[in-house]
Amino acid sequence: MRWKTTERPIFNHPIECTWALLEFYLYAKYISHDNSTLSYMEDTLCSFQTIKEDFLLDRASKKSKAKANTLRKELIRKRKVDKERNAQTWTLSKKGHRMNAWWDYISHEIEVSKELAADFNFPTIHLMSHWVEQIPQYGPVQQYSAKRHGQVHKPNFKDGWNASNYILKNLPQAITLQHHICCFEIRDLHLQSPAQSWEH
């Protein structure tokens, strides 16, 4: 199936962005690197960073989507009021043009609302920006994993959140729980140390 010439530019940027990210990933998987492969990695990452805004609409959070839906309802209500107010003066063709203009305006406002609320602020994207400078220091990135951040995040905050009352001062409760857990771990280490020295 061939794309129409008007539709082709819509697909060009997402394809270029995906290709740049895939190229960066393939360079990152190299077992050994030199200055040229590192510069290729940096170039593809720069390409990805400049084009990635095309995917911002898909990065909108649930909260921003709910806000966009509220905005949509408000704009549809305004469109209905405009239609009722001018129904007597509009001809059939003018009514059709006016309704099409309203729908274009509503869809544009929804897209702008989602774009303003969306971002790429998450650990995996941020880690990629450090790879080019860290590979010469620490070696290839096969041992890198973004899952480690989630594993560290779980005991530090999620367990404390689950032990809190979810409503009042939940952050101090989570921090206090983590502090108590660390104190007990230190106490266990102190108790194990004399026992191990006694065995030796």
For 82-131, how does the pLDDT look when each residue is reduced to its tens digit (9 = 90+)?
878 877 777 777 777 888 888 888 888 877 777 666 667 667 777 788 88
Say how far apart CA 11 and CA 9 lie, in whole Å: 5
Print the domain residue range for 31: 1-59+121-143
Q: How far is CA 154 from CA 91, 125, 134, 160, 174, in A?
A: 62, 20, 26, 9, 12
> Collapsing DSSP states into helix, strand and coil, what is residue 171?
helix
Last residue of a domain, one of 117, 132, 161: 117
Across 12-26, 38-52, 83-97, least confident range? 83-97
- Are 197 and 173 part of one and the same domain? yes
Among 63-67, 115-119, 158-162, top mean pLDDT goes to 63-67
- Are 51 and 101 part of one and the same domain? no
- Are 130 and 55 part of one and the same domain? yes
- Give the residue from 70, 55, 66, 58 showing the smallest Cα distance to 21: 55
- Are 105 and 186 part of one and the same domain? no
- Are 100 and 151 part of one and the same domain? no
Q: Per-residue confidence at 147, pLDDT binned at 50, 70, 90? A: low
Q: Rg (Cα) of the chain, in Å, rounded?
A: 27
Task: Specify the pLDDT at position 157.
Answer: 67
Task: Specify the pLDDT at position 1.
Answer: 42
Last residue of a domain, one of 71, 99, 117: 117
- Are 111 and 190 part of one and the same domain? no
- Are 4 and 39 part of one and the same domain? yes
> Collapsing DSSP states into helix, strand and coil, what is residue 146?
coil
- Give the residue from 160, 170, 123 showing the smallest Cα distance to 145: 123
- Are 11 and 100 part of one and the same domain? no
Tell me how many domains the chain contains: 3
Give Cα 136 to chain centroid, integer Å. 28
- Are 55 and 67 part of one and the same domain? no
- Are 66 and 113 part of one and the same domain? yes
Residue 4: what are its φ and ψ, rounded to 5°?
-70, 155
Burial of residue 83, with CB atoms counted within 10 A of its CB: 0-12 exposed, 13-18 middle, 19 or more buried = middle
- Encode pLDDT of 164-175 as tens digits: 776 667 777 777
- Are 94 and 55 part of one and the same domain? no
Angle between helices 62-86 and 92-117 in degrees, nearest 10: 160
Task: Specify the pLDDT at position 150.
Answer: 57
- Are 48 and 72 part of one and the same domain? no
Matching residue, tokens 């990635």: 52
